[in-house]
């Protein structure tokens, strides 16, 4: 788990963002490599089962999505910047999964932690809709944050632990999508 945290006095300056955008393995690296990111934790949120396991979430019956919880320094990177990255690494027109990952646990959702985050996310979504970049409607839900449960340790920092498998996941459609819509 990438945890570059400092002592508790300094941690008060940090904020968190929670994004669901398909397999959490593929959602860590795009944020983790940005300046101002303190940690990115893979986990589960949005459901009704406390402390779910990966096996439970995979059934699609717990109500959870695979998500990442990002701790960041807003003096270095803004929440708006994180939302912009989010749009570029998810397919905002696919309500029932992302790329090769299908099912309710892979739905794209922005979970906000404050009224300011809600406002930024809604405005960003409206701007994306008005841009005409996509022929299909933007279906990403924007919801209040619910309890976030860190995933099992073997899921943390997956792109570093198993780079080859991570590359195969990225090649499952996400990488092509980024090139088509964002020239990444």
Lowest average pLDDT, out of 6-10, 72-76, 171-175, goes to 6-10
pLDDT above 60 (res 9): no
What's the pLDDT tens digit per position in 22-54?
A: 888 889 989 999 999 999 999 999 999 999 999
Question: Quick one: pLDDT band at residue 6, thresholds 50, 70, 90?
Answer: very low
Complete domains list, the chain, with CATH: 2-177 (3.30.1060.10)
Distance of CA 172 to the CA centre of its chain: 17
Q: In sequence order, which residues have a C-beta less than 8 Å from that of residue 141 and are 6 or more positions away?
A: 107, 108, 109, 110
| pLDDT tens for each residue of 124-163 | 999 999 999 999 999 999 999 999 999 988 788 767 776 7
Predicted pLDDT at 121? 98
Sign of CA dihedral 175, 103, 24, 127: positive
Output the pLDDT for position 170: 62
Mean model confidence pLDDT for the chain: 88
13-17 mean pLDDT: 96
**Active-site position among 18, 20, 23, 70:** 23
- pLDDT, residue 7, reads 42
CB 19 within 8 A of CB 57: no
Instruction: Round to whole Å and give the CA distance between 127 and 121.
Output: 10
Euclidean distance between CA atoms 40 and 70, whole angstroms: 5
Mean pLDDT value of segment 113-131: 97
Q: Is there a catalytic annotation at residue 58?
A: no
User: What is the sign, positive or negative, of the torsion defined by CA atoms of 65, 66, 69, 70?
Assistant: negative
What DSSP string describes the chain? -EE----HHHHTT-EEEEEE-S-THHHHHHHHTSTTEEEEEEEEESSSSSS--HHHHHTT-S--EEEEEEEE-TTTS-HHHHHHHHHHHS-TT-TTEETTEESGGG--EEEESSHHHHHHHHHHHHHHHHHT--SSPP--EEEE---EEEPPGGGTTHHHH-HHHHHHHHTTTHHHHHHHHH--
pTM above threshold 0.75: yes
């Amino acid at each position: 788990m990438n945890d570059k945290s400092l002592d508790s006095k300094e941690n008060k300056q940090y904020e968190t963002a929670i994004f669901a955008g398909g397999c959490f393995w593929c959602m860590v690296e795009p944020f983790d490599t940005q300046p101002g990111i303190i940690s990115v934790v893979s986990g589960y949120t949005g459901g009704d089962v406390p402390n779910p396991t990966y096996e439970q979430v995979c059934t699609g019956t717990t109500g959870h999505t695979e998500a990442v919880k990002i701790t960041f320094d807003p003096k270095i990177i803004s929440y708006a910047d994180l939302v912009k990255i989010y749009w570029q690494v998810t397919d905002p027109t696919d309500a029932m999964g992302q790329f090769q990952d299908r099912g309710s646990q892979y739905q794209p959702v922005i979970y906000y932690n404050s009224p300011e985050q809600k406002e930024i996310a809604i405005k960003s979504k409206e701007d994306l809709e008005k841009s005409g970049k996509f022929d299909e409607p933007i279906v990403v839900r924007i919801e209040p944050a619910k309890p976030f449960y860190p995933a099992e340790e073997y899921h943390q920092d997956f792109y570093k632990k198993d780079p080859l498998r991570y590359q195969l996941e990225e090649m499952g459609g996400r990488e092509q999508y980024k090139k088509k819509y964002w020239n990444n």
